[in-house]
Chains A and B, each alone.
Chain A
Amino acid sequence: MIERWNRFWFRPASPHALIAARFLLAFNALWIVLSRPALPDLVRWPAIFWSDASLYTRIRFLIVPFPYGVEFALYALSVVALLFVAAGKFVRPAAFASAVLLYHFADFEKIFSSSGSPFFRGLALPVSGLLIIAFAKVPRASDESSPEYRWPLVLIQLLFAMTYLMSGIAKLRLVGISWFRPANFTGIVLAKMIPDAIPPWAQYVVDHPPLIALCAAGGIAIDFFTITAVFSRRAARIIVPITFIGHVLIMRILDVFFLNLPLLLLFVNWEWLFGARRERRGGSARAAEPGNAPAGTP
């Protein structure tokens, strides 16, 4: 058991996949943060909008709130910190600072009604992932393989896959196995057909019951089997494309967009990609040596 645990978390890994994960997390967070540039402006909204924002929820999310100038500076700092993380500069302090600042800003979109948490608003994985990046040894492309580059990557992948597994468990715990019945799935598609926004493929799916059954089966596969990508590269090759296609279908059938979709790239075999590139580069360098010149070269 201990041997399995150690093999899973601590077998040597090249630094490339962790560097890619670091970039992906920073890129995903930047995309979301730059798509909400008016976040600091919320502190300037009329006080009545803040009237139901519970003091305890504000404490939980470190929302003081500061004056606009300070909030704007914090927002700008989060962008700069994320750029540093993506560029691989000052990684540890930049990753930590950006995670704390994203944690602060994440609940701004929900704080007025203090209802629930900002889950599925895209910043949960970047916050937890950037913290793990801050705790781990900073990888350099020229480093040898090391267990230090394995555990943080797997932990980030696991948290990503947990999004699906936890969602599946929530459906079972809060509704029961009946959630996955085609009748309920039909109800969900119908519920997403709201008068102001009808998803483009919703009507077609509702009109074709076999498609509903297929979608329900796909939902089960995504919720409960995406996690296998963490444990098996072979499983990743199958389930990751299925999950991607699932999200495209969810977008067209339910009008729901998963803001962490780019993080599916966490499961790309970056070690192999970087290794193949290095080999090609090594090969062309060898070919350029006088004795290795291709036939016909002067």
Chain B
Amino acid sequence: MHLDGETLARIRDALQLVRLAIVIGFVVAGIRVIRASAAIRRRRINQLIAYLLALHIVIALAQTDVWPFSNYPMMTVDVSDPARVQQLPVFRAVDQRGAEWQVDPCSWSPLYPQNLTAWLDVVGPKITSAQRGVAMRYLLHRAEEARRRRIESDRYFGNAALLGPFTAPDIDLLPDVAPSPLAFHRLRLYRQTWRPAQFARDRSSVTYQLIDEVTE
């Protein structure tokens, strides 16, 4: 059976509501436990447990996600091909002398840079260059603010505003980056491309393709 894009989108939308309904079903089953009399309490608890077990079987078979119950498809990829090419969009902030710097991971808190590169990857092609400019200028402004805070040795900003060094990291650990002593006035979005097997032997085997650039 072949479904056109619009129908698929409608199904995807409807599935979001089904997922919400399933979570509500779990809550209703729990409330039924709270409200149950002693005589039927055990039965209601068994129903709640059975609901969760059945839900996990469905999730495992369908390989879908009903957050907070998930199939947890972590790194479910076959990357055994040694000739494989890998690509990743990355940001670089440019100081007044034209030097490029990595952006501080706390710049766009609560989001981490990879959330934004993922967003630009998905949404970037769908929006106008003027809209992309608005987004990237906002990110540049925040990157400069983070640089200034870091230069002032402020350890309590962005995601680290409350817990400082005890802040829970992102799921993907990011290294600290050296702050630029000069203000940022430009933000570039590149696509990095490399062959992982080759990169393990030669760190310079990475190519950069400029995708977008904004100036303040």
Residue positions of A touching B, CB distance < 8 A: 9-10, 31-32, 34-39, 41-42, 45-46, 48-49, 51-52, 54-57, 59-60, 92, 103, 106-110, 112-113, 115-125, 127-128, 131-132, 134-136, 151, 155, 159, 162-163, 166-167, 169-171, 173-176, 178-179, 181, 183-184, 186-188, 190-191, 193-197, 199, 203, 206, 251, 255-259
- On chain B, the residues within 8 Å of A135 by CB distance are 30-31, 33-34, 48
Nearest residue (CB) in B for A79 is B162
Q: CB within 8 Å of A: which residues of B? A: 12-14, 16-17, 19-20, 23, 26-27, 30-31, 33-34, 42, 45-46, 48-49, 52, 56, 59-60, 63, 65, 67-82, 84, 86, 88, 90, 102, 109-111, 115, 118-119, 122-123, 126-127, 131, 134-135, 138, 158-163, 167-175, 192, 194, 196-197, 199-200, 203, 206
Flag if A184 contacts B79 (CB, 8 Å): yes
Minimal Cβ-Cβ distance residue in B for A187: B79
Chain A residues closer than 8 Å to B200, beta-carbon distance: 190, 193, 203, 206
- Extra pairs beyond A35-B163, A187-B78, A257-B169 (20, CB < 8 Å): A9-B49, A35-B160, A35-B162, A36-B110, A37-B110, A38-B161, A52-B119, A55-B13, A56-B14, A59-B16, A121-B171, A124-B69, A131-B26, A135-B48, A155-B49, A166-B71, A186-B80, A187-B84, A191-B79, A195-B88
Other-chain residue from B74, B77, B78 in contact with A167 (beta carbon distance below 8 A): B74
CB of B13 within 8 A of CB of A54, answer yes
* Known interface pairs A35-B159, A39-B110, A128-B69; A190-B197 also in contact (CB < 8 Å): yes
Q: Which B residues are CB-close (under 8 A) to A59? A: 16-17, 20
Are B86 and A191 in contact, CB atoms less than 8 angstroms apart?
yes
Complex CA gap A258/B70 in Å reads: 15
Q: Are B49 and A60 in contact (CB under 8 A)?
A: no
